[in-house]
């Protein structure tokens, strides 16, 4: 494989719940168009939805003055989703473990856990301002780039 880029989408979206739905739909469609199975595409879409919720709600606090920037990219080896918010940032290492007994019944706090379970790589980087999240789903046999 030569790591050639087979597809790319760049979006700048408002900090609204409609962005969450659009992110889920765009990422699922993009994954399907670029050779991922229905199951993988659904998992990618779910991870993207969780990432969009975090960017809109926790990062940008629904501020109409702040935007969410999204980059979807597919190449011969993987599908990459990059999401940037304009919030104050956070330290992912300080998040409580959602599997601990005291956190099991909490109504939130599982999004990053879910992203890590569904994607092969999940990385955070602090921006000034904001947070950048990069998620990668590697191709396996039968998921050739289209």
User: How do the domains of the chain map onto residue ranges?
Assistant: 5-138
Closest-CA residue to 87 (of 46, 128, 52): 128
pLDDT of 76 reads 93
Pair of tokens at residue 72: 């979807």
> Which pTM does this prediction carry?
0.85
Highest mean pLDDT out of 27-41, 83-97, 111-125: 27-41
72-90 tens-digit pLDDT: 999 999 999 999 999 987 7
β-pair partners for 69: 12, 84
Fold of 5-138: Heat Shock Protein 90 (3.30.565)
Closest-CA residue to 132 (of 62, 70, 58, 73): 70
Task: Please state, in angstroms and rounded to a whole number, the distance separating the CA atoms of residues 79 and 140.
Answer: 11
Average pLDDT value for residue range 18-29 = 96
Place 146 in a pLDDT band, splitting at 50, 70 and 90. low
Angle at 24 between CA 50 and CA 94, to 5 degrees: 15
Helix axes 111-118, 38-53, angle to 10 degrees: 150
pLDDT of 113 reads 84
pLDDT of 120 reads 97
Confidence check: pLDDT of 3 > 90: no
């Amino acid at each position: 494989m030569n790591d050639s880029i087979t597809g790319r989408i760049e979006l700048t979206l408002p900090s609204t719940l409609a962005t969450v739905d659009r992110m889920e739909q765009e990422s699922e469609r993009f994954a399907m168009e670029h050779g991922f199975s229905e199951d993988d595409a659904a998992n990618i879409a779910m991870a993207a939805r969780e990432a969009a919720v975090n960017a809109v709600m926790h990062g940008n606090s629904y501020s109409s003055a702040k935007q969410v920037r999204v980059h979807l990219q597919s190449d011969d080896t993987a599908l990459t989703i990059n999401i940037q918010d304009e919030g104050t940032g956070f330290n992912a290492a300080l998040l409580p473990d959602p599997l601990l007994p005291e956190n099991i019944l909490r109504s939130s706090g599982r999004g990053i856990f879910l992203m890590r379970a569904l994607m092969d790589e999940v990385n955070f980087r602090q921006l000034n301002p904001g947070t950048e999240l990069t998620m990668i789903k590697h191709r396996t046999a039968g998921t050739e780039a289209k």
